[in-house]
Copies of this chain bind each other. A is one copy, B any other.
Amino acid sequence: MSVLIVGSIALDTVKTPVEEHADQLGGSASYAALGASFFSPVKLVGVVGDDFPASEFEFWKTRQIDAEGVQRVKGRTFRWSGEYAWDMNTRETKSISLNVFEHFRPELPASYRSSDFVLLANIAPALQAHVLDRIEKPRFVVADTMDLWIETARADLDALLPRVDLLILNDSEARELTKETSLIRAGRRIRDAGPKYVAIKKGEHGALLFGEDEFFSCGAYPLEDIHDPTGAGDTFAGGMAGYLAAAGGELNFAAFRRAMIYGSVLASFNVEAFSLERLRTLTKREIEERYQVFRAMSQFEVVA
């Protein structure tokens, strides 16, 4: 089953204590789409300027990513620039130029409107709702969000939550949204606001998953070197949504556990190189191998 993904497509300039790279492909939808494409065909919705590399459209074609829903308009592509602190855990946004994104009104090609699976990657909740309104009968809706929208578009976000099946956000955002210090309470409170499932990302500490009377906790895949954390959360969301879409009808809690692990595995690959470079060469076999290693590292009891 394919998954419709809407979000930002950007050209990023990223600086870490070690390296700096300018005008690399970025944006929540770019990471999420490539992450999801390992499991399911993707229908991508977004906007780029006339400075956007045509090669990217060619690449998407090779990866079952349908870009008919990506508008190509006059002007410059959305640009983001950020710098990571020495510990790679905190980052500062240096500049944002919305450019063609400023007046973006997502339009869905006719073939997109019957989509069952939807991932509303990280963009303003009003845009997320706008896309959702145009889908005839969405069966499963995954949404990602961030602190910016909790702080500046809270009413839009609150209105969206009852329409979401799985909300993905990070630990500080879960605390900010609920004013609960305990992540366990926060996860349950968010479920009360609408989403049937909530995934709380904790970066190097892994992730938590809340369902109705169900709970799953997993660590992060252990990495010694992180080159660029940009897009890890978007890749996680994409991997999770792609796996769930592929699982199709059988969405029990066991499928959600596996989806969260696959999301974590994809995110762990993503941060090993700048931009989407690692995901471009990644294979299904590498994903499966890391899944098995990760599983072995997290088992309470080793079955001989």
**Does A223 sit at the interface, judged by CB under 8 A?**
yes
Which residues on the B side are within 8 Å of A202 (C-beta)? 205
Q: Contacts A205-B205, A205-B206, A206-B205 known; A217 to B219 CB distance under 8 Å?
A: yes
**Within 8 Å of chain B (Cβ to Cβ): is A215?**
yes
Residue numbers in B under 8 Å from A294 (CB-CB):
300
**Chain A contact residues, CB within 8 Å of chain B:** 86-89, 181-185, 188, 202, 204-206, 208, 215-220, 222-226, 253-254, 257-258, 261, 294-295, 297-302
**A88-B181, A181-B88, A184-B222 known; A297 and B216 CB under 8 Å?**
yes
Contact partners of A181 in chain B: CB under 8 A: 86-89
> Chain B: which residue is nearest A260 at the CB level?
B300
Given contacts A254-B301, A300-B261, A301-B254, contact A206 B226 (CB under 8 A): no
List B contacts of A215 (CB < 8 A): 222, 297
Given contacts A205-B206, A206-B217, A219-B217, contact A185 B224 (CB under 8 A): yes
Enumerate 18 A-B pairs (CB-CB under 8 Å) in ascending A order: A87-B181, A88-B181, A182-B224, A184-B223, A185-B224, A206-B206, A206-B217, A208-B219, A215-B297, A218-B300, A219-B219, A254-B301, A254-B302, A257-B301, A258-B300, A258-B301, A261-B300, A298-B300
How close is A193's CB to chain B, nearest CB, in angstroms? 17
CA distance A181 to B253 in the complex (A): 34
Beyond the given A88-B181, A294-B300, could you list 16 further A-B residue pairs with CB under 8 A, ordered by the A residue number?
A182-B224, A183-B204, A184-B222, A184-B224, A185-B224, A188-B224, A205-B206, A208-B219, A216-B297, A218-B300, A253-B302, A257-B300, A257-B301, A258-B300, A295-B301, A299-B299
Chain B residues whose CB sits within 8 angstroms of the CB of A302 once the complex forms: 253-254, 257
